[in-house]
Structure 1
């Protein structure tokens, strides 16, 4: 009994010694023992000033795009996609939808999965989903069926509000939200 205890203690001590001294080779149950200097260093979070700079760059890039599109296509109640617009079922709304989707895509590429842009990410994805729905329903082709026209209203409203929602998301990105 004592021999077995001593053998276990010696084996444990040799494993601990190998681990602590950074020996490489095989360890317990076929797992490699890595030298102590090979452990990955913890990832560093970007500094607050770097995050602020990234957020400012995203906002300015997006703002440039949004402003140009809004000037040409309108936004909110002035959009051809506003549910009260007589152009909601025309190619003019489809052009606004395409521009909103492109701006949303730009936003997603700019934030590229970075933390601190949850609102912008959510808004951009919601806009892209609305554009896909608007397009798949054929809303821009002047549908005559009442149920299709009704189904077009919700995605069109999201599209009409899209530029404003992207701007708000970029502004909230400055606050890390």
Structure 2
């Protein structure tokens, strides 16, 4: 299959030479040939220096600030199934999850501060607010104090799962901001 593609490219290349006329018919010297076509082709292929829009610049600034914070916290606390707040983690009802929850809430707060008043960050805004609400619920329920009541432990599962996934969701939200979503 690879050879067929190479062969097809070679045939197309040879066809191009035949169509454009590679012979020196009429004895004309290369310097006698018209150059207008090459000059216009060169000018149209020059890279355009389009200015970066203010929106794109703002999105990049938000992305960099949020990513820096997320990366540092993610190295410290982990994320997803590696988070102490993972619903499969024995640390979900302990101080390490509370510390991860606080860091996640702070990262969400940073994201909200960075996007304050800017359009094109609906996903990041939504994710950050959802994370902060999950952290408040986790704290209000006393999930980090190893509750013994079954209904409280069950109620802690949902906010803990949101917190465990928080850094990844914030990163996805910041990436969506680059696309204006």
SS, match of residue 167 in structure 2? helix
Q: When the two structures are aligned, how many residues end up with a matched partner?
A: 131
Alignment-derived partner of residue 164 in structure 1: 168
| TM-score normalised per structure 1 | 0.73
Q: Deviations over 1:103-142 (max 9, x none)?
A: 0000000000311000000000000000000000000000
Alignment-derived partner of residue 54 in structure 2: 50
Alignment-derived partner of residue 124 in structure 1: 128
Structure 1 gap segments, 5+ residues each: 1-46
Return the alpha-carbon distance in structure 1 between the equivalents of residues 172 and 106 of structure 2: 17
Alignment-derived partner of residue 112 in structure 1: 116
Return the alpha-carbon distance in structure 1 between the equivalents of residues 94 and 110 of structure 2: 25
| 1:1-177 to 2 correspondences below 5 Å | 49-177=53-181
Structure 2 gap segments, 5+ residues each: 1-50
Shift of residue 168, structure 1, vs aligned partner? 0.3
Alignment-derived partner of residue 5 in structure 1: none
SS, match of residue 55 in structure 1? helix
Shift of residue 147, structure 1, vs aligned partner? 0.3
Q: Deviations over 1:5-33 (max 9, x none)?
A: xxxxxxxxxxxxxxxxxxxxxxxxxxxxx
Alignment-derived partner of residue 20 in structure 1: none
* Structure 1 runs of 4+ with >4 Å offset: none
| TM-score normalised per structure 2 | 0.71
